[in-house]
């Protein structure tokens, strides 16, 4: 099934994502329906199905402007579907999303955000504001490469760097 048919409503106000790229190269940036389409493509490329439920979860996730917990999403989807959606279903789907680079987990907040450029693989950096709770996504391959290199230097085989900076954003500063 394709996104947009039947049950899944489009957002009234489009969600936005702040993305800054310090290493020079272009990302395909997505928002709104285009973002969902990109997510669908990415998920299917990973050999997974884009179901109504998954579309709803992604839709809910992408509407949050701050990292959302699985329970936040369960609640949002429950509301939009007029029925109770259990957290564990959401967890399953979020795990899938994270695996397919369609969503990312902010470890220090136990929360998730949609990936605005699922087509492009990066070790991502989150700037987590303690004032407003937002998490800005930044990429910097030089830093992530350095971190991986430091790990290898210590005899460690790096798989997934977690880089999150706690502090205050420009608005809350």
Partner DNA sequence: GTTGCCTTTGTAATAAAGTTGCGCGGCCTT
Partner DNA sequence: AAGGCCGCGCAACTTTATTACAAAGGCAAC
Point out which residues bind DNA (CB under 7 A).
Answer: 48-49, 51-54, 69-72, 83-89, 91-93, 110-111
Strand order in the sheet with 19-21: 19-21, 135-139, 124-129
With CB under 5 to 8 Å by kind, the binding choice for 136 among a second copy, DNA, none is a second copy
Cα-Cα-Cα-Cα dihedral of 102, 106, 110, 113, to 10°? -40
Least CB distance from residue 96 to DNA, whole Å?
8
With CB under 5 to 8 Å by kind, the binding choice for 142 among DNA, a second copy, none is a second copy
With CB under 5 to 8 Å by kind, the binding choice for 30 among DNA, a second copy, none is none
Which residue ranges make up the site for a second copy (CB under 8 A)?
20, 22, 107-108, 125, 127, 129-130, 136, 138, 140, 142-143, 146-148, 150-151, 153-170, 173
Which ranges of 46-104 does DSSP label H, i.e. alpha helix? 52-63, 70-81, 87-99
Closer residue to DNA (CB): 37 or 52 = 52
Neighbour-count burial for 117-140, b at 16+ CB within 10 Å, e otherwise? bbebebbbbbbbbeeeebbbbbbb
Distances 35 to 46, 124, 153 between C-alpha atoms, Å: 17, 18, 38
Least CB distance from residue 72 to a second copy, whole Å?
18
């Amino acid at each position: 099934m394709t996104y947009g048919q039947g049950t899944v409503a489009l957002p009234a106000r489009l969600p936005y994502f702040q993305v800054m790229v310090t290493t020079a190269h272009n990302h395909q940036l997505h928002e709104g329906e285009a973002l969902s389409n990109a997510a669908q493509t990415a998920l299917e490329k990973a050999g997974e199905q884009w179901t109504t439920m998954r579309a709803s979860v992604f839709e809910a996730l992408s509407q949050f402007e701050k990292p959302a917990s699985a329970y936040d999403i369960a609640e949002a989807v429950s509301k939009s579907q007029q029925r109770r959606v259990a957290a564990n279903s959401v967890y399953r789907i979020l795990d899938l999303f994270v695996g397919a680079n369609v969503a990312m987990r902010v470890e220090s907040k136990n929360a998730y955000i949609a990936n605005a450029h699922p087509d492009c693989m990066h070790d991502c950096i989150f700037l987590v504001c303690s004032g407003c709770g937002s998490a800005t996504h930044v990429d910097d391959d030089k830093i992530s490469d350095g971190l991986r290199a430091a790990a290898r230097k210590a005899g460690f085989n790096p798989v997934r760097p977690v880089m999150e900076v706690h502090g205050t954003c420009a608005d809350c500063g």
